[in-house]
Structure formats: C-alpha cells, structure tokens
Homo-oligomer: A and B are copies of this chain.
C-alpha cells in the first residue's frame, strides 16, 4: 500500500499570509502601528491591557481588537479606558486569522489611530502560525505559568519580538525562578526582548508603555 502526502496547510497559510501582507500595507499607509498580543489563557492579557490603555490613550490614539472564543467579557473589561474596542467573537475558533482582522478593520475604522492592539485568543499554539498583518508580536508569560513554557511552546516565542512577563508582584510567594524563565525564553528565541510587568503593582508599566509609544511614533 502506498503512502502519500498532501501539503494542505501550506496553501491555507499562504492565503492567510497574502491577506496579512495586504493588511500590513494598508496599516502602514494609514500610519498605524499594529501589535498582536498572544498568550495562554489566564496570563493577564486583559488586565495588563486595561492598565496599558490608561497610560497610553492620552498620548496616542489607540484602538483595540479583542479576540475571544465566546464571550465579550474582555471587551467589557476594556471599555472606559479611552480606546474604541471591537470584540471579535470567534465562536470556538482557537485563534485569529487575517480574514477576521480584515472584517474587523471594516467595522472599526483604523484611520486616525496611531496604535492598534490586537488581543489574540488565549492559546500558545495556533496563533503562532497566523500572521495578522501586525508589526510586532508580543508574547505574554505569567509568573504563575511555570518557567518551562517557552520550551514547551517554542513556536510562539520564536515568532515574537517581545516577551512581557506578567504578575511579577506575586513572583516571590510563587517561588518564580527569574533566571530560569529568562534563560528558557532566550534559549528558544535569542532575538527576543523581555520586559517584566505587574498590572497590579504597576511595575514595568512605564517601560512597556514607553516601548509602545516609541513604536507608534516610528510610524509617523
């Protein structure tokens, strides 16, 4: 009996890539810097994002797309922080794709924004292979998640330019091993920059917000 191979994912992903490249070009023309935030569920994406918007939206016009499996809880939590928020309900779909961002961009006008932040669906596997037309991919890693996450999910770290460690305020009671966490991140993704934050204590927020402001300014 024969064995054969069908490379179908390649075609699907190439289609996504073509759409993502088009989106990136449209965003560039409008002068918008686009950030795609990925992480596992419960890493503190939404909490960090709410605090980030509080420190950001007075300085630079920012919009938010929030991907979620079913609810619009995250969009509700992000309301009232100075940015228009569009919830992308994926209805069980495990990651965002470029065609969803295209549809979202037709609903929330990105022209006039300087920064567009996309909060991806909580998932460390599937979002890694889907370019959304972003200029920067940020992976979040919580101190509660264990220092070996980068070794288990190398793809998402390899494809990101920045790793934001969250919840450092509870690092000590957790016995979080900072050195191991950094070493594991760098082992799989030597290119990556690391910022440590706590949405609760405010630690690292200045560094993170300044980073985003500089990126947004680079597009003007």
Contact surface of A with B, Cβ cutoff 8 Å? 1-10, 12-13, 69, 72, 75-76, 78-95, 97, 99-100, 103-104, 107-108, 123, 125-126, 128-129, 155
**Cβ-defined partner of A89 (8 Å) among B8, B76, B155:** B8
Q: Is the CB of A5 within 8 A of B75?
A: yes
Supplied contacts A6-B86, A6-B87, A6-B89, 12 more A-B pairs, CB within 8 Å = A1-B81, A3-B84, A3-B85, A3-B87, A4-B85, A5-B72, A5-B88, A6-B103, A6-B107, A8-B99, A9-B89, A95-B126
Q: Is the CB of B128 within 8 A of A92?
A: yes
| A123→B97 CA distance, assembly (Å) | 18
List the 5 closest A-B pairs by CB distance, nearest first: A9-B91, A9-B90, A92-B129, A94-B126, A9-B93
| A5→B13 CA distance, assembly (Å) | 26
Q: Which residue of B lies closest to A123 (CB)?
A: B125
Q: Is the CB of B88 within 8 A of A6?
A: yes
Q: Which residues of B contact A123 (CB under 8 A)?
A: 125
Q: Is the CB of B129 within 8 A of A5?
A: no
Q: Is the CB of B91 within 8 A of A7?
A: yes
| A5→B66 CA distance, assembly (Å) | 9
| A155→B69 CA distance, assembly (Å) | 12
Q: Is the CB of A104 within 8 A of B5?
A: no
Q: Among A12, A72, A75, A87, find the residue whose CB has the most chain B CB atoms closer than 10 A.
A: A12
Q: Which residue of B lies closest to A90 (CB)?
A: B9
Q: Which residue of B lies closest to A126 (CB)?
A: B94
| A12→B123 CA distance, assembly (Å) | 19
Q: Which residue of B lies closest to A80 (CB)?
A: B1
Q: Is the CB of A3 within 8 A of B107?
A: no
| A6→B93 CA distance, assembly (Å) | 13
Q: Among A3, A76, A125, find the residue whose CB has the most chain B CB atoms closer than 10 A.
A: A3
| A94→B12 CA distance, assembly (Å) | 12
Q: Is the CB of B125 within 8 A of A7?
A: no
Q: Which residues of B contact A6 (CB under 8 A)?
A: 86-89, 100, 103-104, 107
Q: Among A75, A88, A91, A107, find the residue whose CB has the most chain B CB atoms closer than 10 A.
A: A91
